[in-house]
């Protein structure tokens, strides 16, 4: 799936829909007409939805993985090779996700999850727990990449799982790694070739904020990492997230499949995801192949798409946390009455 193929409009950040231009207002009107008629809706959520809550995305210049290879942090092999490094990464993220609060976008989906007579699912790839904490109906929320707050035993012989473990730090040795996301400031050279000579460029620097960087604090021994309370041999616990190469939770996938096959889905809301990871990205095509329409909420929608060339697709460019409550207003306002 390519998110880039969606119809977009002008940049909507800080702009209320009432002030938007013609293309935008046309897209919004069409979208909301379809929304009001939709009986079966799916929301596919990614890291962009939590940006307004202060949590970073994964990919791109602002992403968590710009200074670390994901293969070194988010695979079973990475954990096998250096569980201390991987636990520091997840410990850091647990700490920051716990401090974050659900934003207006999470709350808008939570409201949608409770609209009577609407068949609705949120499929979130996020492991930060913010959708659950926003009051989303738990029966139609699927955290398909797991949760930072689930712990699982690594022993093949043991099926110990603990959910909703909010303890911070999990062990004394992890205390130092639970520091806050500090946007790192880096000098960047600003070059305006029209107004300056090359000799001057060295002096023209500016400080820009870039995204938080994971910096492992120390080497940790296995004995200082979270241990399974059930296993006699002191097996390690691991974060209950889905790493590359691992299966997604089968029961959840089956329930999502049942929903998808239970009748055509009228609309899929694709919110703050790059759509690069399988199988999450396949849901958009599945809905569209059944005749459903897609609405994309993302800060990055290609110019080509902004010209509006793709059928059955709307693109709303901007912060998902701001756009969703406005776009979903017809249904969630009805719900509030
Ligand atoms: C905003 C915004 C704002 C910013 N408002 N928007 C070759 C080799 C090996 C494997 C494969 C292979 N080819 C394919 C695979 C399969 C693989 C895969 O897809 N790899 C691709 C990278 C190619 N998939 C798997 O391995 C999966 N397992 C699997 O397929 O098993 C087989 C199986 C399937 C089904 C049933 C049974 C078996 C597992 C994938 C697990 C992914 N896990 C991670 C890490 C989780 C733990 C953790 O959090 O650390 O999940 S990867 C990472 O990517 C994380 C995310 O959930 C996921 C998606 O990222 P997301 O959310 O899209 O974030 P970004 O950063 O990519 O995008 C953010 C977007 O927000 C951007 O578009 C911004 O523009 C936007 N944005 N600000 C709105 N304010």
| Whether the Cβ atoms of residue 267 and residue 295 lie closer than 8 Å to each other | yes
Both structure tokens of 322: 């701001």
What residue owns the CA closest to ligand 1's atom 72? 274
pLDDT of residue 17: 45
Q: Is 121 exposed, middle or buried (0-12, 13-18, 19+ CB in 10 A)?
A: buried
Go through the chain and tell me how many residues it has.
Answer: 337
CA dist 169 and 165 (Å) reads 11
Cross-strand pairs, 124: 45, 143
Q: What is the DSSP letter of 236?
A: B
CA 325 to chain centre: 17
| Whether the Cβ atoms of residue 129 and residue 149 lie closer than 8 Å to each other | yes
Q: What is the pLDDT along the chain (337 residues), one digit of tens a residue?
A: 333 322 233 344 444 444 345 666 778 899 999 999 999 999 999 999 999 999 989 887 667 766 677 777 899 999 999 999 999 999 989 999 999 999 999 999 999 999 999 999 999 999 999 999 999 999 999 999 999 999 999 999 999 999 999 998 999 999 877 666 655 444 443 334 344 333 333 333 344 444 566 777 678 899 999 999 999 778 999 999 999 999 999 999 999 999 999 999 999 999 999 999 999 999 999 999 999 999 999 999 876 666 667 889 999 998 999 999 999 999 997 554 4
- Which residues belong to the annotated binding site for substrate? 90, 93
CATH architecture for segment(s) 15-54+102-145+248-337: 3-Layer(aba) Sandwich (3.40)
pLDDT of residue 204: 36
pLDDT of residue 27: 83
Both structure tokens of 83: 């569980």
| Whether the Cβ atoms of residue 324 and residue 297 lie closer than 8 Å to each other | yes
Q: Is 195 exposed, middle or buried (0-12, 13-18, 19+ CB in 10 A)?
A: exposed
pLDDT of residue 309: 79
CA 171 to chain centre: 27
DSSP annotation string for 61-84? TTSGGGSS-GGGTSSHHHHHH-HH
119-124 sheet: strands from edge to edge: 141-143, 119-124, 40-45, 267-271, 293-298, 313-317
DSSP annotation string for 278-296? TTTTHHHHHHHHTT-EEEE
Ligand 1 neighbours (beta carbon < 6 A): 46-48, 51-52, 57-59, 63, 74, 125, 127, 145, 241-248, 253, 272-274, 276-279, 297-300, 319-320
Which of 11, 43, 58, 239 has most ligand 1 atoms within 8 Å of CB, for mutation? 58
3-state helix, strand, coil in the chain (%, to 5): 40, 15, 45
For the chain, the structural domain boundaries read 15-54+102-145+248-337, 56-99+146-241
pLDDT of residue 20: 47
Same CATH fold, 56-99+146-241 and 15-54+102-145+248-337? no
The number of the ligand 1 atom at minimal distance from the alpha carbon of 125 is: 57
Which of 51, 57, 78, 147 has most ligand 1 atoms within 8 Å of CB, for mutation? 57
Name the CATH code of domain 56-99+146-241 (choices 3.30.1360.150, 1.10.287.10, 3.30.360.10, 3.30.1600.10): 3.30.1600.10
Place of tokens 């604090």: 217
pLDDT of residue 24: 66
pLDDT of residue 182: 57
Q: Is 145 a catalytic residue?
A: yes
pLDDT of residue 19: 38
What residue owns the CA closest to ligand 1's atom 7? 245
What residue owns the CA closest to ligand 1's atom 57? 125
DSSP annotation string for 80-115? HH-HHHHHHHHHHHHHHHHH----HHHHHHHHHTT-
């Amino acid at each position: 799936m390519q998110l880039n193929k969606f119809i977009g409009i002008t940049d909507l950040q800080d702009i209320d829909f009432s002030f938007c231009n013609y293309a935008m207002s046309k897209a919004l009107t069409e979208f909301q007409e379809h929304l009001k008629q939709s009986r079966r809706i799916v929301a596919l959520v990614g890291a962009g939805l939590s940006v307004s809550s202060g949590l970073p995305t994964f990919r791109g210049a602002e992403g968590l993985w710009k200074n670390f290879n994901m293969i070194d942090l988010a695979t079973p092999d990475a954990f096998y090779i250096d569980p201390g490094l991987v636990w520091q990464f997840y410990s850091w993220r647990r700490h920051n996700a716990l401090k974050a609060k659900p934003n207006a976008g999470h709350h808008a989906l939570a409201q949608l999850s409770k609209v009577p007579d609407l068949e609705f699912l949120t499929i979130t790839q996020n492991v930060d727990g913010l959708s659950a904490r926003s009051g989303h109906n738990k029966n139609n929320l699927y955290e398909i990449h797991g949760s930072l707050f689930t712990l699982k035993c690594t022993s093949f012989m043991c099926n110990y799982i603990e959910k909703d473990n909010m303890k911070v730090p999990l062990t004394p040795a992890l205390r130092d790694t639970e520091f806050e996301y500090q946007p790192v400031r880096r000098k960047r050279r600003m070059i305006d070739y029209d107004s300056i000579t090359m000799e001057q460029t060295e002096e023209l620097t500016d400080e820009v904020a870039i995204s938080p960087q994971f910096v492992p604090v120390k080497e940790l021994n296995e004995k200082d990492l979270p241990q399974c309370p059930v296993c006699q041999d002191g097996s390690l616990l691991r974060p209950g997230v889905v790493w590359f190469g691992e299966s997604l939770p089968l029961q959840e996938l089956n329930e999502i499949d049942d929903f998808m096959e239970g009748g055509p889905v009228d609309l899929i809301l694709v919110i703050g995801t790059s759509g690069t990871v399988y199988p999450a990205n396949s849901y958009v095509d599945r809905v569209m192949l059944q005749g459903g329409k897609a609405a994309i909420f993302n800060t990055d929608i290609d110019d080509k798409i902004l010209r509006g060339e793709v059928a059955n697709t709307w693109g709303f460019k901007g912060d998902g946390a701001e756009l969703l409550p406005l776009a979903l207003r017809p249904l969630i306002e009805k719900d509030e009455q």
